[in-house]
Amino acid sequence: MASRLLLRTARQVQQSTIRRMSTAPGGPEKRSFRSQLYDSTAQRVKTEKSQVEQRFQAGDIPRQRSNVSSTLGFAIVSAIIAIGFYSLGAASAPALPLTSTSPLSSIAVPQHNTAKANLEAAWTDFVTLLGEAHVLTSEEELIRHAGSDWSSYHNSDHKPFLILYPSTTAEVSAIAKICHTRRIPMTAFSGGTSLEGHFAPTRGGVCIDFSRMDKVISLNKEDLDVVVQPAVGWEQLNEDLSLHGLFFPPDPGPGAMIGGMVGTGCSGTNAMKYGTMKDWVLSLTVVLADGTIIKTRQRPRKSSAGYDLTRLFVGSEGTLGLVTEATLKLTVKPQSESVAVSAFPSIGAAAQAVADIMASGVPLAAIELLDDVQMHCINESGNTSRQWKEAPTLFFKFAGTAAGVKEQISQIQKMAKASGAQSFEFATSEAERHELWSARKEALWSVMAMKRKDGDRVWTTDVAVPLSKLPVIIEETKKDIKQSGLLGAIVGHVGDGNFHSIIMFSKEEQDIAEAVVHRMVERAVKLEGTVTGEHGVGMVKRDYLAAELGTETVDLMRRIKISLDPLCLLNCDKVVRVEKKRPGERAHT
C-alpha cells in the first residue's frame, strides 16, 4: 500500500513538473534547475520501486521489510516537498537592493498597523511594561504631544494614539520591540520646543515622552564630560555645572532638552565661539527601531575607531534611533563675561558692521542681530525690564580674562562707531549683563505676544549663508517681509552667518507667509547657503534639500533611513520623504 502511494506521489510530481515546463516561457527545451531536480527525483523513486517489487517477487526480501521502503519513500517525498516550498519562498523574497541610493520611486509605501484592535492590544502590553500611570490617552495629553503654537508646521489632524513615559533604556528598548512586532509608528518627545514639526505624529501610533528620564547619570569633572538622560534641560544642567566652574556651551531656546538638542543638531548664541551641538556630543546610547541597544563610542575626546555613528545620530531628528543617554563634552567657565548693545541706523549698516568686526579677528563669544521690528515687539510685549531703541541692534558677548574682556569691549566700541552706530552700551555688572542679554532671549516670545486675534500663528524659520553673503540676504529678506504686509522680525546669529525670521500670519495669510519663507530659502541656496542653520529639517524643509544638496545626496539619506529602520517606524516623514506627495498636500510641508 505504501509502495503504491509512493509511486503515485512520484508520478504526480513528475506530471506537475511537465505541466510547469510546458507552460514556461521557451517551452520544455529551457527547463530550470528546479524542474530538472523534480524529474530526476521522480525517476529515481520510480526505478527504486520497480527494483524493490522484483526482489519481493523473487523472494530476496521478506514482505515485512517493506516498512523500510515505506520509510525511505516518505523521507524522499518529504524532501521533495521541502525543496518545493523552499524554492517558492526564495522566489517570493524581495531582492536586495543593488544600488547605493534609494530614490523615492524605488521604495515601498510604509505599511503600519494602526488598527484599533492592534493599538488596544498594544496598550495592554505597554501597561504591563510601564504601569497604567505611565500610559496616557487623555485628549489633553494627545493634543499637547501633537504640535505647538510656535511650530512652523500646523496640522490638527495628527495625534498619537497614546503617550508612553519610560524611565530606563531597557524600557525604551521593550517599547520599540513591541512596536516593531506590531508595526506601530513611534515619535520621540522631550522638551517639545522644536520649530519645524519634528514631533508631529504624522502616522499616529505612540509618542514616547522622555520626561521621566531627566537624570544626570555621572559628572566626570577631571575629564570634562557628563553623562545625561534625554530630558535634562540645558539651562538646569548649566546651573548645576556652574557650581563646579564648568559649563555646556550650546544654548538654544529656553526649555530645550538634551534629547531634542541632539535630534536637531542645534546650536544657539554661543555657536560663533564654541560651535554647534555636534561638537559637544562624545557618545550616545541609542535604541534602534527593532529595540536593539547600541553605544556609539567610549568617552575619550578623540577616536578614529570605525564610522562616526555619534554624528550620524546627531541631527537625525529621531528618524534613525531613540537617544536614551548622551555623553557631553564640557569646558571651563570663562573667568569673566560681559555683553554690549549697539543700535544702528539701518539693517544694512548693522550687517556691514558684523562683516568688518569678523574680519578684524577680535575673539568675540557671540554677535547677535535684532532688527527694528523685533526691538519694537520686545518693547510692546513688556517681557524685559527696560525700553529699547527701536532700531536694528547688535548684541555682543565677550568672554575670557577680565583684562581680555575689557580690551575686546574697547575695540568693538571703536569699530561700531566707525560703522555708524547710534549708541553703544556695555554691562558693568552681572545684573546689567543679564538685563542687556534678556532682549535677545525674549525674541520669539515677544513676537508671539503681538497676536492680533485667536488663530494667529508665527512661522519661525532659519537659513545660513557664507559670512560675506549675509548683508545681501538680510536686506533682501527684510524688504520682502515689508512688501508682504505681514508682521515679521529678523533675528540673527550673524557671527556665523545664520539668521531667523519670525513671521506673524492668520489662516487667510498663510499662502503669503509661505511664499515669503520660500523666497528666503531660495535666496540662501543661490548664495551657497543652507536651508536651515540650526532648526533642523522636520516636515517643512524636507523638499528643499534636493536644491541644496542634490537629489542623489537625498536619496543616500533615504537609504540610510531605510537601512536602520526598514519598517519606517521612527518619526516617519521627517527629514526625507518615504512616500510621494499626496493629492492636495501643500508644497514644502
Q: For 22-45, what is the mean pLDDT? A: 49
Kindly state the cell numbers that stand for 547. 536644491
State pLDDT tens for residues 477-532.
Answer: 999 999 999 999 999 888 889 999 999 999 899 999 999 999 999 999 999 999 99
Q: Say if residues 269 and 252 touch (Cβ distance below 8 Å).
A: no
Which option is the CATH number for 336-540: 3.60.15.10, 3.40.50.10440, 3.40.462.40, 3.30.70.1450?
Answer: 3.40.462.40
Residue 352 CA, chain-centre distance (Å), reads 35
Percentage above 70 pLDDT, the chain: 83
Q: Say if residues 272 and 364 touch (Cβ distance below 8 Å).
A: yes
The confidence score (pLDDT) of residue 97 equals: 77
Cα–Cα nearest to 315, from 560, 53, 116: 560
Grid cell 522622555 in the structure block, residue: 210
Grid cell 519606517 in the structure block, residue: 568
Residue 355 and residue 367: Cα distance in Å, rounded? 11
The confidence score (pLDDT) of residue 69 equals: 54
The confidence score (pLDDT) of residue 420 equals: 92
Residue 150 and residue 553: Cα distance in Å, rounded? 30
What contacts 450, CB < 8 A, 6 or more positions away? 377, 380, 381, 487, 504
State pLDDT tens for residues 266-277.
Answer: 999 999 999 999
Strand partners, 225: 220, 329
Identify the CATH number of the domain defined by range 112-333.
3.30.465.10
Strands 457-464 and 498-505: antiparallel
| pLDDT above 90: residue 558 | yes
What contacts 20, CB < 8 A, 6 or more positions away? 35
The confidence score (pLDDT) of residue 421 equals: 94
The model's confidence at residue 293, banded by pLDDT at 50, 70 and 90, is: very high
Residue 579 CA, chain-centre distance (Å), reads 17
Cα dihedral across residues 144, 587, 490, 237: positive or negative: positive
Say what the pTM is. 0.82
| pLDDT above 70: residue 21 | no
Cα–Cα nearest to 209, from 250, 252, 260, 157: 260
Q: What angle do CA 209, 139, 508 make, to 5 degrees?
A: 100
Query: Which is more confidently placed, 170 or 453?
Result: 170
Poorest-confidence range of 62-66, 279-283, 504-508, 509-513? 62-66
**At residue 582, what is the residue type?**
R
State pLDDT tens for residues 363-408.
Answer: 999 999 999 999 999 999 988 888 999 999 999 999 999 999 999 9
The confidence score (pLDDT) of residue 2 equals: 45
Count of positions (residues) in the chain:
589
Residue 321 and residue 294: Cα distance in Å, rounded? 10
Mean pLDDT of the chain: 87
